[in-house]
Amino acid sequence: MNTSQTISQRRPAQGLLATHKVLRNTYALLSMTLMFSAACAYASMMLELPHPGLIVTLVGYFGLFFLVNRFRNSAWGLVCLFALTGFMGMTLGPILNAYIGHYANGTQLVLMSLAGTGITFVGLSAYALISRKDFGFMGGMLSAGILVAFIASLAVAFIPGLEGGAVAIAAMFVLLMAGLILFETSQIIHGGETNYILATLSLYVTIYNLFTSLLQIFGVLERDD
């Protein structure tokens, strides 16, 4: 066996090891950020902090999102990531308090949303990991869909009379987040995403949006009953 053949055999193995490392680091960091975000949400609930409002939430989210991307290759990226997930947890606390206080079975609605989010994430991630299918083709469609859904959600928030479309938008977000789980996991497996900080950021945002969308849908269904 000559040297060129040896090198060609090593490259796939090295690529596989690198992929496993990104995957392992991503899920480890994702677990830590989710626990930190949950702790911040719990603290916000116990302190009964008011919701900062849509504008402050968007500015804080996009500002920290930019910083995570800006410092993705340094330790500051981790600091910014935890700042973002902590901030989103703090904004989630008042929302959870509102559901628990407004609905007789508010705690059950929160738990149902949490269970639905967990089952969806684990199931779709496992499917992508086991099947090893490449879902990269979904990237363009998901980006366009998320942009449309985001604009529609802003319209519902600021334009009177459009509140009835909130459930449809929430359902759209659920489908988009499900697709994004498949896409992001596939990106890590096939080497399309090699930065575990960015991979964690994307999966965290996906889980957050999936949870809040399910919570909104369950809340509307409970109100209709």
What is the per-residue pLDDT across 54-85, written as a single tens digit (0 to 9) for each?
A: 899 999 999 999 999 999 999 999 999 999 99
pLDDT-based confidence at residue 163 (cuts at 50, 70, 90): low
Between these two residues, 18 and 149, which has the higher pLDDT value?
Answer: 149
pTM metric for this prediction = 0.89
What does the block give as tokens for 83? Answer: 């700042």
* Burial label, 160 (beta-carbon count in 10 A; 0-12, 13-18, 19+): exposed
- Residues 102-161 pLDDT 10s: 888 999 999 999 999 999 999 999 999 999 899 989 989 999 999 999 898 888 877 766
Q: Give the span between the Cα atoms of 213 and 179, in whole angstroms.
A: 14
Q: Give the span between the Cα atoms of 186 and 202, in whole angstroms.
A: 13
Work out the average pLDDT over 11-36: 81
Non-local CB neighbours of 183 within 8 Å, separated by 6+ positions: 135, 136, 138, 139, 142
Look at the chain and report how many structural domains it folds into: 1
- Look up the domain containing 108 and give its range: 3-224
Count H helices, E strands: the chain? 7, 0
* Residues 99 and 106 sit within 8 Å (Cβ to Cβ): yes
Per-residue pLDDT, 225? 59
Between these two residues, 21 and 70, which has the higher pLDDT value?
Answer: 70
